[in-house]
Amino acid sequence: MATDTLIQEAGALGQELLPVLGGFIIEKLDPNCDTVAAKAALVGLAGNIASLVTALETKTTTTETAAAA
C-alpha cells in the first residue's frame, strides 16, 4: 500500500473516530454538557482538518508539478 493511500485511510478513520472519542471524553469530563452539540462541533472540526490536509496536498502537488516543468 502506498504511503499516500495509507495516510488518506488513516485520515478517514480518524475523521470518523474523532467525534465518538471526543464525545466519550467530553461526557466523562462533564456528563451534564450538551454532548450532541459537542459531537457536532467535533465532526465540523474533523471536516475542516480534512479540508486543510487536502488543500496542503494540492498545493504540494501543484508546486512539485511546476518545479518539474
Instruction: Tell me the per-residue pLDDT of 1-59, one tens digit each, with 9 for 90 and over.
Output: 566 666 667 666 766 777 777 777 877 888 788 878 877 887 788 788 778 878 877 87
In angstroms, rounded to a whole number, what is the distance separating the alpha carbons of residues 37 and 59? Answer: 33
Domain span holding position 13? 1-68
- Model pTM score: 0.49
- The count of domains in the chain is 1
